[in-house]
Amino acid sequence: MKTVNIQEAQKDLVRLLEKAAKGEPFVVAQEGKPSLKVVTVEEVELIEAPKKKRRIGFLEGQFSVPDNFDTMFAEEIEEMFYGKSK
C-alpha cells in the first residue's frame, strides 16, 4: 500500500483518488506518521458490517425444530464412523 506525505497528496490528489476508487488504497502521513487511510466505501462497509447490531428472534415462527433434533440420524452418523453393526 502506498504511503504519501501531505504535500504529495495535495499535488496528486485526483490521481490518488482515482486509484483508490479502483481498489488501490493509500495512506497519508503527517510528519512521517500515518494519519489516514483512503479506501473505497465498499471496503469500509465490509469492515463495519459485523459491528451492526443483530436482531434476536427475527426468524421466530418461520420454521420448527423437531423434538428429537439432537438425536436425529444418530444411527446413520454412528454407521459413518464405525461401520454397520451386525
CATH of the domain at 50: 3.40.1620.10
pLDDT tens-place string over residues 22-60: 999 999 999 999 999 999 999 998 888 777 677 788 888
Name residues whose C-beta falls within 8 Å of residue 4's C-beta, 6 or more positions apart in sequence: 12, 16, 26, 27, 28, 29
Domain span at residue 7 reads 2-82
pTM of the model: 0.54
The pLDDT of residue 50 is 73
End-to-end CA distance of the chain: 63
Quick one: average pLDDT of 57-74?
A: 89
Q: How many domains does the chain have?
A: 1
Mean predicted lDDT score pLDDT of the chain: 90
CA-CA distance, 81 to 26, in Å (whole number)?
52
